[in-house]
């Protein structure tokens, strides 16, 4: 052993002055399924952390080898005792074990050194990169900011997905639900949004927090790998409470995620938190509530299931300048069954959030990517969270698409169509093609504006429908090479000026001249 | 659940019912609900409840060696506490009351030194 360590131990022993500190304790009377009944702890408070005393009766060497302390979280205050959930291995808890009160509310570590890390719902690193050196502890449960501390949402959060940024814009501080059946591309949109933040200037780039709840470890590992490959992990924290994690950790993970985000928001930074997904958190909470013997309600969920999500999502906010101007944007994900958005949890979360992006299995199966059902999707912040350039090119897009969908249904029965209707259908079909986008390929806002401007000016009218995507991809590469100054100007000013329009129109003409094979006449 | 039955049993007794009758009544209710197996748990919960209500919980004083007891009694101020020898404490003493704990054992101190150095 190093002499400095020995000297430190000797110093500690010599300085030993026994203090008769009184600790409040209880005793475990029953344990099962992650829930512990504790007798005593009369001074405990709700959501307080307790520590199980595993060292009693063990020799010093065994106590030192027993590893980290085992914690619990009080969720029920009863007449003669309390009930708590175990934040770790339940098998370590024994009947009769002493439980000490800590007087602390559950907190998780946060700070700059959390960036690029994968942690569990308690903020403990899972990536093998070692513990945090100087973390700031943030309370997992905290009251959301009030009205006076907030300001309205006005700064866009670019997802890089054309269909969203143009028709369902998301602002910094907004809560936008992503909802749909399994395998319809909900997570893909969320991950693309994280990746797209790379195109933001470093000082304005939001910190991203991806909270995986009840997901397969393999899926989370794949996401982390993708984020690393795209260089997005450097500004991202992944909170993982996988399907194999105890229900208690799956219930806590979203709160831990937002608590980590609040550290950055309080410092005036923008944060994006993705909860993937809250349906699984609700199921974990239902499990805990039933084990805590709370009365079941609809679909066996407890009575406070709405509050579970509302108190989480209310913590998304855009703070006033006096409070630093930071923000937390929330993108909760909800999985539906057979597209039923009127089920209990979906309707709850729809009513809490500021809009929803509805992913449709039918559209997905037709090959539409992203499979967004524009009719059922909405952003209640609307154009307040769009640049003027995007407003100009995407303002009427949603209406045009809705009209096209109506005509498309009508077209199946009609034999002859008048020219105006046929034109509208042709334009709509091309617009649908233009809005298609590959997975993992988010697009900077200025490129989106240029492409949508092309569609608005009927640039794709002469392109056969099956070639629209090819034309759009080639046009983007062409613009990157030949109109970079115009694109940079759109990005910088957020405007599509007359000069920019003129420059883009000229670029389109030049493209057309060099790509005759894409145009039918 | 067992706590609720234990409290009901106590209430019956406090309302003047004979002890045996009160136990029989609770047992009958449990039997009618097919939960007779809960009876031992109810008994344990009742025992804890009675101890708490009557304030007759015996405080326990843990010491590392038997001859440390008198000093521990003096230092803790608990002269009536039941003494239990726990050699794993190494030295010092540890007093467990109904819902409080005073631990001035050497083991606790050495463990805290270990945890500080290992952190």
B-chain residues near A57 (CB < 8 A)? 86, 88
Residue A425 clears pLDDT 90, i.e. is over it: no
Q: Report d(CA A332, CA A313) in Å as an integer.
A: 8
Per the CB < 8 Å rule, is A39 touching B48? Answer: yes
pLDDT category of residue A12 using cuts at 50, 70 and 90: confident
Nearby residues of B101 by Cβ (< 8 Å), 6 or more positions away? A22, A23, A24, A25, A98, A100, B94, B95
Per the CB < 8 Å rule, is A25 touching B44? Answer: no
Interface test with B, best of A20, A68, A78, A135 (most B CBs within 10 A): A20
Three-state secondary structure of A137-183: EEECCCCCCCHHHECCCCCECCCCCHHHHHHCCCECCCECEEEECCC
Per the CB < 8 Å rule, is B114 touching A21? Answer: no
∠ Cα A47 A48 A50 (to 5°): 130
pLDDT category of residue A439 using cuts at 50, 70 and 90: confident
Provide the percentage of residues in chain A whose pLDDT is more than 70: 99
Q: Report d(CA A385, CA A354) in Å as an integer.
A: 12
Nearby residues of A385 by Cβ (< 8 Å), 6 or more positions away? A153, A154, A155, A156, A157, A169, A170, A171, A172, A174, A379
Distance set, CA A365 to CA A69, A168, A183, A370 (Å): 50, 22, 10, 11
pLDDT category of residue A203 using cuts at 50, 70 and 90: very high
Over the stretch A234-279, which tens digit does the pLDDT of each residue have?
999 999 999 999 999 999 999 999 999 999 999 999 999 999 999 9
Mean pLDDT of A320-331: 96
Q: Report d(CA A62, CA A10) in Å as an integer.
A: 22
**Residue A380 among the catalytic residues:** yes
Q: Report d(CA A456, CA A441) in Å as an integer.
A: 22
Among A149-153, A203-207, A374-378, the minimum mean pLDDT is found in A374-378
Mean pLDDT of A145-149: 95
Distance from CA of A31 to the nearest CA of B (A): 13
Q: Report d(CA B46, CA B40) in Å as an integer.
A: 10
Distance of CA A33 to the CA centre of its chain: 29
**One-character DSSP codes across chain B:** -HHHHHHHHHHHHHTT--HHHHHHHHHHHHHHTT-GGGHHHHHHHHHHHHHHHHT-PPPEEEESSGGGHHHHHHHH--TTPEEEE-GGG-SSEEEE-SSEEEE--HHHHHHHHHHHHH-
Count Cβ–Cβ pairs < 8 Å, chain A vs chain B: 72
Mean pLDDT of A464-480: 92
CB A480, CB A487: distance < 8 Å: yes
Per the CB < 8 Å rule, is A41 touching B99? Answer: yes
Residue of A nearest to B42 (CA): A29
Distance from CA of B25 to the nearest CA of A (A): 22
Residue of B nearest to A23 (CA): B101
Nearby residues of B98 by Cβ (< 8 Å), 6 or more positions away? A40, B51, B52, B57, B59
Q: Report d(CA A251, CA A48) in Å as an integer.
A: 16
Predicted local distance difference test score (pLDDT) of residue A415? 67
Q: Report d(CA B22, CA B119) in Å as an integer.
A: 55
ipTM over 0.90: no
Residue among A380, A405, A424, A512 flagged as catalytic: A380
Q: Report d(CA A208, CA A238) in Å as an integer.
A: 9
Per the CB < 8 Å rule, is A100 touching B101? Answer: yes
* Token pair listed for A289: 């509530």
Residue of A nearest to B63 (CA): A57
Mean pLDDT of A280-290: 96
Over the stretch A25-55, which tens digit does the pLDDT of each residue have?
999 988 988 899 998 898 899 989 999 998 8
Distance from CA of B34 to the nearest CA of A (A): 18
CB A138, CB A260: distance < 8 Å: yes
Top-ranked range on mean pLDDT: pick from A73-87, A185-199, A431-445, B8-22: A185-199
B-chain residues near A18 (CB < 8 A)? 92, 104, 109
CB A41, CB A99: distance < 8 Å: yes
More confident residue, A473 or A16: A473
Distance from CA of A102 to the nearest CA of B (A): 12
Provide the percentage of residues in chain A whose pLDDT is more than 90: 74
* Token pair listed for A106: 């559950």
Distance of CA A362 to the CA centre of its chain: 24
Distance set, CA A475 to CA A35, A68, A319, A456, A493 (Å): 59, 58, 40, 15, 22
Distance from CA of B21 to the nearest CA of A (A): 24
Predicted local distance difference test score (pLDDT) of residue B34? 92
Over the stretch B33-82, which tens digit does the pLDDT of each residue have?
999 999 998 998 888 888 777 766 678 899 988 888 888 888 888 888 88
CA proximity to A370, closest of A138, A120, A187: A187
Residue of B nearest to A40 (CA): B99
Predicted local distance difference test score (pLDDT) of residue A116? 97
A-chain residues near B113 (CB < 8 A)? 9, 12-13
pTM passes above 0.80: yes
Per the CB < 8 Å rule, is B102 touching A22? Answer: yes
More confident residue, B117 or A393: A393
* Token pair listed for A287: 């499990």
């Amino acid at each position: 052993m190093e002499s400095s360590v020995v000297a430190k131990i000797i110093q500690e022993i010599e300085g030993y002055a026994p203090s008769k500190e009184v600790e409040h304790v209880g005793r475990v009377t029953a344990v099962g399924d992650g829930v512990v009944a504790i007798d005593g702890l009369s001074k405990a408070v709700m959501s307080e952390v307790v520590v199980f005393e595993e060292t009693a009766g063990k020799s010093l060497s065994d106590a030192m080898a027993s590893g980290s302390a085992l914690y619990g979280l009080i969720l029920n205050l009863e007449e003669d005792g309390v009930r708590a959930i175990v934040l770790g291995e339940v098998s370590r808890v024994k009947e009769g074990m002493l439980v000490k009160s800590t007087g602390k509310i559950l907190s998780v570590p946060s700070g700059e050194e959390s960036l690029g890390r994968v942690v569990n719902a308690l903020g403990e690193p899972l990536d093998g990169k070692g513990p945090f050196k100087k973390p700031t502890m943030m309370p997992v449960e905290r009251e959301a900011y009030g009205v006076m501390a907030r300001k309205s949402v006005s700064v866009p959060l670019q997802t890089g997905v054309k269909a969203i940024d143009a028709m369902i814009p998301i602002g910094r501080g907004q809560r936008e639900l992503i909802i749909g059946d399994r395998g319809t591309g909900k997570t893909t949109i969320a991950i693309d949004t994280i990746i797209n933040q790379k195109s933001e200037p470093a000082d304005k780039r939001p910190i991203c927090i991806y909270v995986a709840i009840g997901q397969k470890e393999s899926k989370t590992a794949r996401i982390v790998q993708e984020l690393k490959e795209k260089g997005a992990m450097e500004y991202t924290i992944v909170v993982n409470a996988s399907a194999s994690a105890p229900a208690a950790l799956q219930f806590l993970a979203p709160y831990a995620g937002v608590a980590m985000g609040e550290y950055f928001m309080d410092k005036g930074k923008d944060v994006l938190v993705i909860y993937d997904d809250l349906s699984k958190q609700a199921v974990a909470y239902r499990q805990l509530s039933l084990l805590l013997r709370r009365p079941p309600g609809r679909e066996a969920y407890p009575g406070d299931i709405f509050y579970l999500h509302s108190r989480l999502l209310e913590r998304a906010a855009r703070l006033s300048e006096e409070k630093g101007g930071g923000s937390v944007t929330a993108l909760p994900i909800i999985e539906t069954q057979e597209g039923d958005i009127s089920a209990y949890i979906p309707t709850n979360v729809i009513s809490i959030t500021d809009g929803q992006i509805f992913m449709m299995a039918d559209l997905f199966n037709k090959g539409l990517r992203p499979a967004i059902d524009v009719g059922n999707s909405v952003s209640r912040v609307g154009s307040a969270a769009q640049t003027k350039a995007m407003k100009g090119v995407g303002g009427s897009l949603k209406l045009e698409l809705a009209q096209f969908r109506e005509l498309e249904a009508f077209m199946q029965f009609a034999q002859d169509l008048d020219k105006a209707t046929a034109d509208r259908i042709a334009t709509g079909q091309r617009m649908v093609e233009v809005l298609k986008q590959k997975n993992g390929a988010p697009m900077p806002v200025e490129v989106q504006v240029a492409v949508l401007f092309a569609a608005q000016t009927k640039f794709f009218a002469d392109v056969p429908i099956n070639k629209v995507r090819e034309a759009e991809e080639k046009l983007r590469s062409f613009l990157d090479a030949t109109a970079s100054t115009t694109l940079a100007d759109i990005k910088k000013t957020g405007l599509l000026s007359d000069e920019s329009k003129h420059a883009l129109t000229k670029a389109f003409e030049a493209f057309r001249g060099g790509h005759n094979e894409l145009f039918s006449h | 659940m067992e706590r609720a039955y234990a409290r009901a049993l106590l209430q019956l007794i406090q309302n003047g019912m004979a002890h045996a009758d009160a136990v029989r009544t609770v047992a009958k209710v449990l039997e009618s609900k097919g939960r007779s197996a809960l009876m031992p748990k109810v008994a344990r919960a009742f025992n804890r409840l009675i101890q708490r209500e009557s304030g007759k919980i015996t405080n326990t004083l843990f010491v590392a060696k038997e001859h440390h007891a008198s000093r521990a009694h003096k230092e803790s101020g608990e002269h009536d506490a039941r003494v239990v020898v726990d050699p794993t404490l190494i030295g010092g003493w540890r007093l467990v009351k109904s819902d409080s704990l005073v631990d001035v054992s050497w083991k606790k101190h050495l463990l805290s030194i270990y945890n500080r150095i290992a952190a």
